[in-house]
Amino acid sequence: MKSLPPTILLFLLLQNFLTAENWPAWRGKDATGSTGAGQYPSELNLQKNLQWKAPLPEKGCSTPIVWEDSILLTSPLEGQDAVLSFSLDGERKWQTTVGPERKGRHLNGSGSNPSVVTDGERLYALFKSGNLACLDFSGTILWQKDLSSYGKDTLYWDFGTSPILTSRHLIVALMRKGNSWLLAFEPKSGEVAWKKERNYRTPPECDHSYATPTLIEHEGKEAILVWGAERLSAHSAEDGEMHWVSTGFNPKQKKNWVVVGSQVVAGDVAVVPYGRGTHMKGIRMGGNGDVTESHLLWARTDTGCFVPSPAVAHGKVYVLRDRGEVHCIDPRTGKSHWEDAFPRASSSFYASPTVAGTKLYAPREDGVILIAEVDKGFEYLGAFDMGERVIASPVPIRDRILIRGERNLLCFGG
């Protein structure tokens, strides 16, 4: 295995140190939706271990992020897209509007679906409207862009792809019919560093993707893993050129196989949910060109997740299906270590699950958070009603769990 160049190694080591106690992006510091350390609560009880509750101005669905003493999220605010900052005690520190809101269409969506991302110096926020803004930690706008200039948003539902950061650039993926782009911006100025088209002919709606890219490594350098339009592709972080692509996700060319849940990375394996929650593949990352056949490790047609993205923890992949089944999968073989389920209800799961320590937290759309111990199998711990709808994913931070509801931001302790 080739060693990483010193500059990239230093960046990764620094980021790992800085983010050890933070949650700087949608699925955490390494895009796994998990944190290994800590003593996290076995219940989220409004009467017993609610530490604080902070009201939110309007309905937004972005998962909060945390950096040091700041909790950051997006929300509509009187017809405007806004970024809000709270202290770890639940006090609102500031709110900044960045442009006109474009309202959500889906019951479980909003114009504020993507999460903020931060490098510890600046914040970056993206909205359905196309508003892209960079702010500092005092809420001052440093620069902003209107991404509607890259073409009409043809997504049937509400834009949900979160921005990510490489060591050099802010990355935004726009994946829809006819005008799909992978964009890189200079973090300090907002100038476009590079842009690459990513357009493919697919059956109706199959070129729509709400997934978020993942930062990976390819031949010792940073690369960007993108899932959408029936293709998993890896692109150079320096210029966007494609290293490799895996296809074959829709051999019967079925309609409406839209991508909602994101891919996850476990070691050198990308685990990809597809087929509206009925299929999954494990793909060994690497190679060059078309790796569809050479790098396929396994495929399953008996499990998957449609809206929630999987989580990775303890070398395993945790798949929360839309109706509450939970499958723990070996990423290299695709075989299940175990399969179990939360109690069934009429409501479905839209938020992605979070694994904190050895506990899995799974919000249901009706606002009930279900918890299971998953260290040595599946042990159901209970269901806890937040009293409001919950679409955002739980955020584990310093032995506490943050829940972003439709009306409030809640914090639970041990």
Within a domain: 276: yes
**Regarding beta strands 80-87 and 92-100, do their DSSP bridges make them parallel or antiparallel, or are they unpaired?**
antiparallel
Into how many domains does the chain fold?
Answer: 1
Q: How far apart are CA 12 and CA 17, in angstroms?
A: 9
| Mean pLDDT, residues 328-337 taken together | 98
Residue 130 burial (CB count, 10 A): 21
Q: How far apart are CA 163 and CA 196, in angstroms?
A: 16
| Mean pLDDT, residues 46-58 taken together | 97
Residue 262: CATH number of its domain: 2.130.10.10
Model pTM score? 0.93
Within a domain: 1: no
Within a domain: 328: yes
Within a domain: 33: yes
Residue 405 has pLDDT above 70, yes or no: yes
Residue 105's pLDDT is 80
- Inter-residue contact 316 to 329 (CB < 8 Å): yes
Q: How far apart are the first and last CA of the chain?
A: 42
Residue 162 has pLDDT above 80, yes or no: yes
Going by C-beta distance under 8 Å and a sequence separation of 6 or more, which residues neighbour residue 195?
181, 182, 183, 184, 240
Residue 10's pLDDT is 52
Residue 20's pLDDT is 54
Residue 14 has pLDDT above 80, yes or no: no
Domain span at residue 224? 6-412
% of the chain exceeding 90 in pLDDT = 88
Tokens of 391: 């679409």
Instruction: Determine the distance from the C-alpha atom of residue 412 to the mean position of all C-alpha atoms in its chain, rounded to a whole number.
Output: 22
